[in-house]
Chain A
């Protein structure tokens, strides 16, 4: 099935996920060649519309688009203030007139990429919207995990940190569950809501979470800037209670667990310096895999035409409850 947009993981079907991960493998093979560029998107234009500052995701998309021979334009927007839906809509009318083929968008408002997708014939890729979704991050995380566990069914991933504000936690947990991976959340009670889906285990105690025996420990960036009211007293206490301290890293190493992080890391907060040199840290693998996954996404989407809109809520529920058999 052709898709115009990639807005979320929730509505992705099993076959689509399998296809994207397979394609990512093919694209990654290109990286070892001397010429890394292919003409898949030659003559196409990709517009980067980032209303939130971003280094990694932005450059990752840009590299991915250029390796597919697309023309990349950065639409400069003010990062210092929140741009409301009203002026975003005016921008979209401008972009529509420019006949751009792909729009990669990041915005602090959950659901805003969906609004854009409904108003343009361009393919819209959600590069992170508020605390809603970050689908390409989830795909690269799943790809990275599958490189270590080709059959990830029954594996356990413990996601630690600020679940409340995290689009990465939402997208990645949804995708991993579709791959048959068990997911648990750990963090301060103020940042791990009680109303998370029942399929996700909820821990607020580090020892209890480790006793659950995860295969991968996935740390989220502690986002002090998103906290309108304080959610924990200070970063020292956070590190002591929920962070990967040196002692905890030793235990993780003994058990042979992998560590992941979507970056950029806060050293001394969610993890200690030593994690960066840990042999089973997959953090740089994630960055590398981001490019091939984003190439696969750009190559897969089909701009223009009357493609089915994102499915309604009921269909999403069915999709998220089905499990992928690799």
Chain B
């Protein structure tokens, strides 16, 4: 029995935080009200104005296992999620071997069971070994609960292959998540084409490389009657393309935006800082502004980190050799508060809707809320405290993040899932 007193409760439906006490009995919310009586034997936590909200869910993470356990494992990855107030994730299938068969999926799910304190879901490949040629074992993976199909890390280059996969898998109720970039235009460098690519002397990837595939994949989904989810949109016109298709209403399209694309521009790369190297790349302030607009408007259904751990040795190489990607699970919620909620750019309702509710709806999962009768699945967040993202603070095996050693406003104090307190700070 747990009584949380004086919390400010957030929900996806209203920007107004409701003050109150929350009584939890055996993992279920028993009562919500002001000045609730303290039942005998209950543990009492005085939230003294901290924000209580449903825990987050990240629909785009790379846990690297199997194959790259030096970067991350299911254990370290899921602990990083808990550390950041996240109680569920969807793994991307670009492991080694790639998750393109029922066998591979079964192994990962079996591992996750023993090694994670939160539910870990996984997506499956569209094509064998993500090569864009032969179809992966789609129905076999569905049998193990896979809903999302993606060749993330790369675009499924051949539109005919993707169209066929869409026609095939849609019949099984599965959907597609698209990493959007024309490979021939984008090149391997993960740098926006523009002032910075000139200054750094590295071939840039133009925004149109993303815009083209966003449009292409939505058109393919429309032709196939499929649901396509556009991953980590980085460009203004990419956002506008999705907005236009959504306004037509004749194709099922959802989309996500990553915190780093909202917060940083290519200028942050400065003197070849590889902690700002990811794919799709950081672009310009105009893109950041448009992405924020898209998020507030609902063009983006959800926020997802694209948590992409790499070892210090790999990231300490020169910019061109260093691998793409940054970690995000430890930092995402605090950074969203610091950059947007605290300065008043959007409210907690947006955070709850886009980072807790919608990603679970995408995956067809129950959506937690701070309501009587619901299982407790929550975060208690201190808006007055600060977090310093030291190497020791972070639970991910890797620390390739722009936030390393930075201090941001906000702190995740408590994470509860059912009967278990996952984190208490």
Interface of A toward B, CB cutoff 8 Å: 10, 84-86, 88-89, 107, 109-112, 114-115, 129-133, 167, 170, 193, 195-197, 229, 310, 312-313, 316
Q: Within the assembled complex, what's the spacing in Å between the Cα atoms of A109 and B194? A: 18
Q: Within the assembled complex, what's the spacing in Å between the Cα atoms of A312 and B276? A: 15
- Tell me whether B272 is interfacial, beta carbon within 8 Å: yes
Asked, given contacts A85-B321, A86-B321, A312-B270, whether A110 binds B198 with beta carbons under 8 Å apart, the answer is no
Asked if B320 contacts A111 (CB within 8 A), the reply is: yes
What residues on A are CB-neighbors of B200 within 8 Å? 110-111, 132
Residue-wise interface mask of B (144-185) relative to A, using a CB-CB cutoff of 8 A (1 in contact, 0 not): 000000000000000000000000000000000000000010
Q: Within the assembled complex, what's the spacing in Å between the Cα atoms of A312 and B271? A: 6
> Can you name the residue of chain A whose Cβ is closest to the Cβ of B195?
A195
Asked, given contacts A110-B201, A111-B272, A193-B198, whether A313 binds B319 with beta carbons under 8 Å apart, the answer is no
Interface residues of B in 315-335 (CB under 8 A from A): 316-322
Asked if A195 contacts B198 (CB within 8 A), the reply is: yes
Q: Within the assembled complex, what's the spacing in Å between the Cα atoms of A119 and B184? A: 34
> Can you name the residue of chain A whose Cβ is closest to the Cβ of B191?
A110
- Tell me whether B18 is interfacial, beta carbon within 8 Å: no
CB contact between B201 and one of A85, A132, A196, A310 (< 8 Å): that residue: A132
Asked if B201 contacts A167 (CB within 8 A), the reply is: yes
24 pairs of residues in contact across A and B, judged by CB atoms under 8 Å: A10-B199, A84-B317, A85-B321, A85-B322, A86-B314, A88-B318, A88-B321, A89-B317, A109-B319, A111-B271, A111-B319, A112-B320, A114-B271, A114-B318, A115-B272, A115-B318, A130-B201, A130-B202, A130-B320, A131-B203, A132-B201, A193-B198, A195-B197, A313-B267
CB contact between A195 and one of B194, B271, B320, B321 (< 8 Å): that residue: B194
- Return B204 CB to nearest CB of chain A, in Å: 9
CB contact between B271 and one of A84, A129, A193, A313 (< 8 Å): that residue: A313
What residues on B are CB-neighbors of A130 within 8 Å? 201-202, 320
> Can you name the residue of chain B whose Cβ is closest to the Cβ of A116?
B318
Interface residues of B in 285-331 (CB under 8 A from A): 313-314, 316-322
Excluding A111-B200, A229-B184, A313-B270, 14 further A-B contacts by CB distance (< 8 Å) are A84-B321, A85-B321, A86-B313, A88-B317, A88-B318, A109-B318, A109-B321, A110-B200, A110-B318, A110-B319, A111-B271, A111-B319, A114-B318, A197-B198
Q: Within the assembled complex, what's the spacing in Å between the Cα atoms of A254 and B317? A: 51
Asked, given contacts A310-B271, A312-B270, whether A110 binds B321 with beta carbons under 8 Å apart, the answer is no
Interface of B toward A, CB cutoff 8 Å: 184, 193-195, 197-203, 267, 270-272, 313-314, 316-322
Q: Within the assembled complex, what's the spacing in Å between the Cα atoms of A86 and B311? A: 12
Which 8 residue pairs spanning A and B have beta carbons closest together?
A85-B317, A85-B321, A132-B201, A131-B201, A111-B272, A313-B270, A112-B318, A110-B201
- Return A281 CB to nearest CB of chain B, in Å: 28
What residues on B are CB-neighbors of A110 within 8 Å? 200-202, 272, 318-320
What residues on B are CB-neighbors of A229 within 8 Å? 184
What residues on B are CB-neighbors of A167 within 8 Å? 201
Q: Within the assembled complex, what's the spacing in Å between the Cα atoms of A88 and B319? A: 13
What residues on B are CB-neighbors of A89 within 8 Å? 313, 316-317
What residues on B are CB-neighbors of A88 within 8 Å? 317-318, 321
Q: Is the interface of B mostly helix, strand, loop or mixed?
A: loop
Q: Within the assembled complex, what's the spacing in Å between the Cα atoms of A312 and B320? A: 19
What residues on A are CB-neighbors of B184 within 8 Å? 229
Asked, given contacts A84-B321, A167-B201, whether A115 binds B271 with beta carbons under 8 Å apart, the answer is no
Asked if B270 contacts A85 (CB within 8 A), the reply is: no
- Return B313 CB to nearest CB of chain A, in Å: 8
> Can you name the residue of chain A whose Cβ is closest to the Cβ of B185?
A229
Asked if A86 contacts B317 (CB within 8 A), the reply is: yes
What residues on B are CB-neighbors of A109 within 8 Å? 318-321
What residues on B are CB-neighbors of A85 within 8 Å? 317-318, 320-322
Q: Within the assembled complex, what's the spacing in Å between the Cα atoms of A287 and B382? A: 65
What residues on A are CB-neighbors of B320 within 8 Å? 85, 109-112, 130
What residues on B are CB-neighbors of A316 within 8 Å? 271
Asked if B316 contacts A115 (CB within 8 A), the reply is: yes
Q: Within the assembled complex, what's the spacing in Å between the Cα atoms of A316 and B319? A: 19
What residues on B are CB-neighbors of A170 within 8 Å? 198-199, 201
What residues on B are CB-neighbors of A197 within 8 Å? 195, 198
- Return A260 CB to nearest CB of chain B, in Å: 21
What residues on B are CB-neighbors of A112 within 8 Å? 318, 320-321
Q: Within the assembled complex, what's the spacing in Å between the Cα atoms of A310 and B193? A: 24
Q: Within the assembled complex, what's the spacing in Å between the Cα atoms of A114 and B203? A: 18
What residues on A are CB-neighbors of B198 within 8 Å? 170, 193, 195-197
> Can you name the residue of chain A whose Cβ is closest to the Cβ of B269?
A313
- Return A63 CB to nearest CB of chain B, in Å: 27
Q: Within the assembled complex, what's the spacing in Å between the Cα atoms of A10 and B193? A: 20
Q: Within the assembled complex, what's the spacing in Å between the Cα atoms of A272 and B318? A: 39
Q: Within the assembled complex, what's the spacing in Å between the Cα atoms of A85 and B312? A: 13
Most buried by A among B195, B201, B314, B320: B201
- Return A167 CB to nearest CB of chain B, in Å: 6
- Return B23 CB to nearest CB of chain A, in Å: 52
- Return A199 CB to nearest CB of chain B, in Å: 12
Q: Within the assembled complex, what's the spacing in Å between the Cα atoms of A229 and B183? A: 13
Q: Within the assembled complex, what's the spacing in Å between the Cα atoms of A112 and B318? A: 5
- Return A138 CB to nearest CB of chain B, in Å: 13
Q: Within the assembled complex, what's the spacing in Å between the Cα atoms of A115 and B267? A: 19
- Return A133 CB to nearest CB of chain B, in Å: 7
What residues on A are CB-neighbors of B271 within 8 Å? 111, 114, 310, 312-313, 316
What residues on B are CB-neighbors of A111 within 8 Å? 200-202, 271-272, 318-320
What residues on A are CB-neighbors of B199 within 8 Å? 10, 170
> Can you name the residue of chain A whose Cβ is closest to the Cβ of B319?
A111
- Return B332 CB to nearest CB of chain A, in Å: 26
Q: Within the assembled complex, what's the spacing in Å between the Cα atoms of A98 and B318? A: 22
Q: Within the assembled complex, what's the spacing in Å between the Cα atoms of A238 and B147? A: 53
Q: Within the assembled complex, what's the spacing in Å between the Cα atoms of A112 and B320? A: 8
Q: Within the assembled complex, what's the spacing in Å between the Cα atoms of A312 and B195? A: 17
Q: Within the assembled complex, what's the spacing in Å between the Cα atoms of A92 and B198? A: 28
What residues on B are CB-neighbors of A115 within 8 Å? 272, 316-318
- Return A255 CB to nearest CB of chain B, in Å: 30
